Amino acid sequence: MPSSVANESQFKRFQSNPSRVSCPSRSPSDSPDSPSAHTPNCDAVEEALAELQLQSQDLRSKELLPNGNGLVSGKGRRSGWHVKSSKLALNTHNRIRNIVEALKIKPNPEKPMIPLSIGDPTTFGNLKAADETMKAVLHSLECGKFNGYAHTQGHEAARQAVAKYSAHQRPDGEIQSDEVVLCSGCSSALEYCILALADRGQNVLIPRPGFCLYHTLAEGLDIEVRYYDLLPDQQWRADLVQLESLIDENTAALLINNPSNPCGSVFDEKHLRQLIAICERHYLPIIADEIYEHFVFPGSKHLAVSSLTTEVPVLSCGGLTKRFLVPGWRMGWIIIHDRKQRLGEAVRGLKNMCGRILGSNTIIQGALPEILTKTPQSYFDGVIDVLHSNASLAYKMLKQVQGLNPVMPNGAMYMMIGVSIERFPEFKDDTHFVQELVNEQSVFCLPGSCFEYPGYVRIVLTVPGLMIEEACARMAEFCERHYKKDSRDIIEDGLLDENLGF
């Protein structure tokens, strides 16, 4: 009989007839190592029995009665079902979903739908995981070694592989496996970092425009989000003066997303050092969302912020999701860069967070060493070629459209497009613009309001080339139909026609 069952049955016998329990006497001469030294003390047992009897009488005096919801006291009886949601659940919102679900969309049945809103690079089937990546998972599955639980931080071999893969994040290239935490996707990595560094009533600084998940992860726990502005006319660099003005004694961390979703910007070394200097002055750790660290277009270079400082601790979040085109595999990681040991208990707290779900997918963990070492560079180059080609095509086409102002990205897989909404008087804002673009042209972008940046729309660049061309042509047609010229435009057009002899 299992010990737990045996103990339970003994306890029930004791409850039903406590008088049967005998207490052998212990003489003063008994030594601590004698058998009688380990038997229950009679006085202690009697006291425990008396306490149980008092508790039983107290419970009976409260007239506990069943009412369908369990036993409740007479004073606090429930009259019916009333199940409440937790504050965390009610205060958790996905801004993109909230906005998109409120749209009144009915695509034009005469035009096939082109969704430029989905941040999943696998949606259209033109971008697929490498053969080497797929084979690595098959090997992990077939060997049968990765069906059980792993260490909550991840299998040692998997963490070593990530440490080696991410060596460029430090000048000396030395990352230890204990400084790597495997997570269920990069979103889980970001959650762990925010929750490990920030407490209720504190605040974190996040970019605007920025990925809405940062706000989703923080708000439910009463962690304040403070937005620092990115400047479109400066290739989306941060407004440093405005950023620094947001910092106070309750600021827990600065979050840097580089390359950026939704902007597609890539910060240069000078700008990263400016951000680091602010953190040094205010003793702020950095959460670096670097999931797109290898998605950089020709002419630009990504630098890990951790490679530029030993003074400021950095928690770098990455994963397989984007570069390896497997978002559904949910494999992300955190690399702890804390060479001056300034994070203190936060490191222990971060590792404690891993116990919440007992680690990430072990089959993918088993495949990580092969995935990270055997996927050829030519595969990655091919993906970048597609994204860069689409970005160049979209920018060239949309730059010519009146009322639109695309900002050419330097990386990631998105483009932000400014909309001069005052030139489209039929539409009250960017969300209304997007709604009618779907209804009329069956092209679906995300409004900038999803990223706390109204007056813009975001498109993804992962679609097939012909589809991006068709989408941009439809957007141009839509804008031409609804754009309203002002008097200056009319005068300029008249002068142009006159000079051309029209």
- pLDDT of amino acid 356: 87
pLDDT in tens, 156-172: 999 999 999 999 999 99
pLDDT in tens, 399-408: 999 999 999 9
Q: Is it the case that residue 34 has pLDDT exceeding 60? A: no
Q: 106-124+378-499 architecture in CATH?
A: Alpha-Beta Complex (3.90)
Question: pLDDT: is 55 or 3 the higher one?
Answer: 55
Q: Is it the case that residue 355 has pLDDT exceeding 50? A: yes
Of 51-65, 82-96, 250-264, 291-305, the one with minimum mean pLDDT is 51-65
Q: Under DSSP, is residue 129 helix (H, G, I), strand (E, B) or coil? A: coil
- pLDDT of amino acid 54: 66
CA 191 to chain centre: 6
d(CA 158, CA 329): 15
Of 85-94, 139-148, 183-192, 208-217, the one with minimum mean pLDDT is 85-94
Confidence at 38, pLDDT banded by 50, 70, 90: very low
Q: Is it the case that residue 138 has pLDDT exceeding 90? A: yes
Task: Give mean pLDDT, residues 276-304.
Answer: 97
pLDDT in tens, 358-387: 889 999 999 999 999 999 999 999 999 999
d(CA 26, CA 176): 57
pLDDT in tens, 177-200: 999 999 999 999 999 999 999 999
Q: Which two tokens stand for residue 204?
A: 């974190």
- pLDDT of amino acid 350: 94
Q: Is it the case that residue 17 has pLDDT exceeding 80? A: no
Share of the chain above pLDDT 90, in %: 73
Q: Is it the case that residue 153 has pLDDT exceeding 70? A: yes
- pLDDT of amino acid 27: 44
Task: Give mean pLDDT, residues 278-283.
Answer: 98
Q: Which two tokens stand for residue 334?
A: 């955190």
Q: Is it the case that residue 315 has pLDDT exceeding 60? A: yes
With respect to CATH, is domain 131-375 assigned 3.40.50.261?
no
Q: Under DSSP, is residue 125 helix (H, G, I), strand (E, B) or coil? A: coil
Mean pLDDT of the chain: 87
Question: pLDDT: is 193 or 487 the higher one?
Answer: 193
How many residues in total does the chain contain? 502
The β-bridge partners of 460 are 414
- pLDDT of amino acid 492: 53
- pLDDT of amino acid 69: 47
Confidence at 490, pLDDT banded by 50, 70, 90: low
Asked if 463 and 121 touch (Cβ cutoff 8 Å), the reply is no
Share of the chain above pLDDT 70, in %: 82
Of the candidates 403, 405, 396, 394, the one whose C-alpha atom is nearest the C-alpha of residue 459 is 394
Q: Where do the structural domains in the chain lie, given as residue ranges?
A: 3-72, 106-124+378-499, 131-375
- pLDDT of amino acid 486: 72
Q: Which residues of 438-469 are buried (b: 16+ CB within 10 A; e: fewer)?
A: bebbbbbbbbbbbbbbebbbbbbbbbeeebbe
CB atoms within 10 A of CB 77: 12
Of the candidates 119, 92, 294, the one whose C-alpha atom is nearest the C-alpha of residue 191 is 92
